[in-house]
Amino acid sequence: MTTQNYDVVIVGAGIVGAAFAAALRDSGLNLALVEQHPPEPPTDDWDTRIYAISPGSAALLENLGVWQTLDQSRNGPVYGMSIRGDSGAELEFDAYRAGVPQLAWIMESGRIQHGLWAALQNQDNLTLYAGASCSELAWSAFGARLALGDGTVLHSKLVVAADGRQSWVRAQAGIASRREDYLQSGVVANFVTEQAHRGIARQWFREDGVLAWLPLPDNHISMVWSTDAEHTKALMAASPEQLAEEVGRAGGYALGKLCQLGTTAAFPLSINRVSTLVKPGLALIGDAAHGVHPLAGQGVNLGLRDARELANVLLQRGAAGCGELALLRRYERARLADIAAMQTVTDSLHHLFRSRNPMLAKLRNIGMDFTNQLTPVKTWLMRQALG
């Protein structure tokens, strides 16, 4: 049996976990990162999992030296947003009026993950346990003990759970999570459009769910349709031609005829609230710490803000130990309001637009039109999304 000692052990090398590890490259801390399924090199095919990366998240990736390594020809800048209610209401956002070059970038998950993973290969204070599984985790007054599937034992002062919505680390720590299933799935697919999208992200709140078209380069778009189980089943069973026609019709043929690229995928939608983000010797980040509805496209940005904040707390720890609860509480206090606000907004919008109450239907569309006329409110909403 091999035993190794570290200051921080990170479980999960998705976008958030890998970014957190990279953010500590100059910390002087001895790090370990455990990832059972390292990312594969990207291919020319378009990834079905797409993220809207905020300028704040892009700045973080740039500071980590990762943004510069990504193929910018695969990233779609968002210059504006067009949101439509289910009774003709509309809400518009524009980068120029917000005083920024773009509102976001639409990017492929796999390429971001691979870029981060590649950057970690040469990080001097980091040991990668690629392909390793976790088998046992326990805490004591001296820190944490993590056993891997091959018999290796890792001792550390702090364990950071970045292992996703079904977090094994969170479960081992006995942290309660309250998950509400929305009884919907997000159906995703990519298309080529007949007409130029001009960098405009489009979203429709419809009776059958929320439909979004996200701009990718060269007249490509990524579609996300958050919808119920029956409609999900029908969309997944549709041929590429049938799906392209239905998606185009649902969007009022705003970009002309669509042609599907690649496959269709679906993932279940839920909100997840945890009882605490920290315990002595433990911190949760990313989807291990929270789950939100994707209608605002802010899930990964929320997680990257976790990674940035926890890294800053550790970098400014002074004489405190990495796993001390008083130190980790600083991270929790800094993140709770942001997480609660995003969960409240997305959950409220989800339930508001699913309601069949005619009075609520009228109010939600009036509210959308009213917000569109209030420049200070729109500016505040954009600043929140810019991260």
Segment 300-312, tens digit of pLDDT: 999 999 999 999 9
CA angle, 162 then 270 then 11, to 5°: 10
Report which secondary-structure segment, H or E, holds 177: strand 177-193
Mean pLDDT of 164-170: 96
pLDDT of residue 358: 59
Angle between helices 325-354 and 299-315 (to 10 degrees): 170
Render pLDDT for 330-353 as a digit per residue (tens, 0 to 9): 999 999 999 998 888 777 666 555
Cβ-contact 109, 18 below 8 angstroms: no
pTM score of the predicted model? 0.91
The whole-angstrom separation of Cα 367 and Cα 379 is 16
Give the integer Cα–Cα distance in Å for 371 and 348. 16
**Is the pLDDT assigned to residue 376 strictly greater than 50?**
no
pLDDT number for residue 377: 44
Structure tokens at 356: 């069949």
Whether the pLDDT of residue 235 is over 50: the answer is yes
Of 85-94, 145-154, 365-374, give the lowest mean pLDDT range: 365-374
Predicted local confidence at residue 252, as pLDDT: 95
* 165 vs 362, higher pLDDT: 165
Higher pLDDT, 237 or 179: 237
108-131, pLDDT tens digit by residue?
999 999 999 999 999 999 999 999
* Distance in angstroms (rounded) separating the CA atoms of residues 253 and 99: 30
- pLDDT at res. 201: 93
Of 97-101, 135-139, 350-354, minimum mean pLDDT range: 350-354
Q: What residues form DSSP beta bridges with 268?
A: 185
Tokens 């911190």 locate to 283
- Domains of the chain, start order: 3-54+111-179+271-350 (3.50.50.60), 78-106+183-269+356-386 (3.30.9.10)
Q: How does DSSP assign 150-162, residue by residue?
A: TS-EEEEEEEEE-
Mean pLDDT of the residues in the chain: 89
What pLDDT is recorded for position 296? 57
Measure the CA–CA gap between 273 and 287, rounded to whole angstroms.
Answer: 10
Q: What would the pLDDT profile of 183-210 be if each residue is shown by its tens digit? A: 889 999 999 999 999 999 998 888 888 8
Bridge partners (DSSP) of residue 283 are 160, 278
Confidence check: pLDDT of 375 > 90: no
